[in-house]
Structure 1
């Protein structure tokens, strides 16, 4: 695989697969990383591992996310090709979201991180407490 040359041009359209570089400021992979690793991006991807959900179901499950933020996060994940949006022509509007094959790949990786965080929560909180006591001294 070849690393993306910057700025993007006709080279990016070649048949050879390109590899991004999240450490390169202008690389689009950095923006994709933001979409996937944001708080709401992670929760959307992990929620959709369970199957297809409507907007309202995702919002209820995630708790604390505004309609606007959920809509923006879903839009970014749809544009990146991780989430499929299907809108049915009925009143009231009926829209479903599900993972694409590529979305399923990334969601599994993000879910592993989520699982690690949940499993090691006590260790992280103990470290925070220890650090807080050290700073106060």
Structure 2
């Protein structure tokens, strides 16, 4: 058998999709989210889907996703995590969702806006990426 006839199953295998909790802690996804959060001045907001659209094909591949839509649960989960830290508000139909609403209660799209302080330096972003 020549070297050209060998088949390497791991060379073509698709990575297994991450659980949304794992994906929400992916550095690339978090960096895109934090960038939008940092650059959108309140009372302005951004769609969770805008974060998904910033993911490159390579980043989607690493996450185990075929398209940006598959990243939405992880992005929503990340938004709720950051809300717990007081960094953002999550809005549905222009209304801020109460603390009693969880990521599991969400159907359809949401918007996110920064709450309170501005991330003026990379230290705050570095804190999220660790």
- Pairwise TM-score range, normalised by the shorter structure: 0.3 to 0.5
Task: Return the index of the structure with the highest Cα Rg.
Answer: 1
| TM-score between the two structures when normalised by the length of structure 1 | 0.42
Name the structure, 1 or 2, with higher relative contact order (CA <8 Å, separation 6+). Answer: 2
| TM-score between the two structures when normalised by the length of structure 2 | 0.44
- Report the structure, 1 or 2, having the larger helix content: 1
